[in-house]
Structure 1
């Protein structure tokens, strides 16, 4: 069992489909009112029906006051790291620190190429992502950035503005090289959906992250661990992901906390998102918090 004993947090994935804009805005406001910590927006700009993730987050931030936003995850091959840091820092200042950066190396090369991106693959993509994380970190700290490499040509950018609160860098990853990169450099790991990285496949991935963190002189307990959970609360019958009543969700998320090491769960509802959000936030979340507290205290 792996429990890093980090505080729990919960979020909702917002659908960036342009035709569902009115519902997306209602969900963002409802999630804040119901006490969730995060609103997550996927970044697939090559999808013709999707809004641009940063444009959507920027707009929604004006309709909310407390809840934080998370790119889940921003594609580094389509968003140059220095410019991405500028956007994140700017929006962090405008929202009083309500921005976190989930980033990925670019998992769909052909789609990236369709927008003019370089479509890097394999070790080349990992090396690019590692260098990009370093540039993001320096830029978000407000440092001067200069680098000439096969991947980047930055001639001396003086970064700014500096965010009022640190912008966390959480790396989306599922294969060994990227998982090790998360352990070495990122502030946390974002797992793909539970149907892509199922629970039985999580421990080996956590181990890769932990070993890389220790080798880099870092404490694995300091890293955030985010699980994107697709499913339905209270739905009977079939469907992808975690499907069952409230008690099953509570049992499962508590086990995924103390047994698999996750501390943050982002709901991806597959049906009736407004009803699912209500069930998740009002019934599942408080019960999971209570269950995990009981387990950790030995009660």
Structure 2
């Protein structure tokens, strides 16, 4: 397991200059990934896949993914071909972030039929299987929700698959199929949501002959990076709210070494400018956390 550090990009059409500037800076600073959202029913948000493709073309080392793909709006066979193209064009820097699809009332405004939750979870697991089957070494076959015809696998390795899953059935699908899990609602390693969710993933992985460690946990991690220390880094409900670089370094190093965290995607909060906080993240916090991990557990880097 290699610990990954990235950031969540702005994604409004008015933010294009900042989006490009941040990605190029993150690439120079050695961050691992950038993510964008997937809400095509919102008129003023950039399309996640168009933006990811553009950012991969503007960078050299940075991976990119949609956090997470709105599956009902992106049918799995087409999604698999998109993944193959982005992987090939970027030299393997594309990550497939995928979810079953939330906000069905908004999804249906795009002209797709509504799905029941059980159908969404079935399609979610089938989609992960189909993406791999349509990648190098795969053997694509029809499924219940994707009755494909005679398709051949692309000669491109399958991307890493990171899921955003919340309910027990989708968590179990993650355990059986995925390479990484992004806990919902920005839950972290101290949350009740993590404590009851992660065992479901682990048990499902073991049931199909996988190791729990085959599914990394990558946290969407919002918080303010302040210039000076704060009195409290967590709120009354125990959620991380941020602090100085030194406070972040202590928190994240502990999360990796003592709680098995495998990655973090920063979503800056607070009054300081977004780009200032991303710079503190990439230039101060991430190198120090990596150094701390390397001293204690070099295999994680």
**TM-score, normalising length from structure 2?**
0.89
| Structure 1 match to 2:263 | 264
Give how far 1:291 is off.
Answer: 2.5
Unaligned runs of 5+ residues in structure 1 are 1-5
Give how far 1:124 is off.
Answer: 2.0
1:153-172 matches, within 5 Å, as 153-160=147-154, 162-163=155-156, 165-172=157-164
> Residues 202-247 of structure 1, C-alpha deviation per residue, up to 9 Å, x if partnerless?
1322211111111111011122211000111116599985321112
| Structure 2 match to 1:3 | none
Query: Structure 1 CA distance, aligned partners of 2:34 and 2:53?
Result: 12
Query: Structure 1 CA distance, aligned partners of 2:143 and 2:282?
Result: 47
1:168-179 matches, within 5 Å, as 168-179=160-171
Moved more, 220-229 or 101-110: 220-229
**TM-score, normalising length from structure 1?**
0.89
1:26-65 matches, within 5 Å, as 26-65=21-60
> Residues 99-141 of structure 1, C-alpha deviation per residue, up to 9 Å, x if partnerless?
0101000011111111122332322211111111111110123
Give how far 1:20 is off.
Answer: 0.5
Give the match's secondary structure for 1:230. Answer: strand
Give how far 1:9 is off.
Answer: 1.4
Residue 277 (1) aligns with residue 269 (2): no
Residue 128 (1) aligns with residue 123 (2): yes
Moved more, 39-48 or 284-293: 284-293
Q: Give RMSD over aligned pairs.
A: 2.1
> Residues 39-94 of structure 1, C-alpha deviation per residue, up to 9 Å, x if partnerless?
11111111111111111111122211111111211111110111011011111111
Give how far 1:261 is off.
Answer: 2.1
1:217 to 206, 209, 213: 209
Give the match's secondary structure for 1:12. Answer: strand
1:67-216 matches, within 5 Å, as 67-141=62-136, 143-147=138-142, 149=144, 151-160=145-154, 162-163=155-156, 165-194=157-186, 196=187, 199-201=190-192, 202-216=194-208
Moved more, 115-124 or 92-101: 115-124
Unaligned runs of 5+ residues in structure 2 are none
Query: Structure 1 CA distance, aligned partners of 2:63 and 2:151?
Result: 28
- Which has more strand, going by share of residues? 1
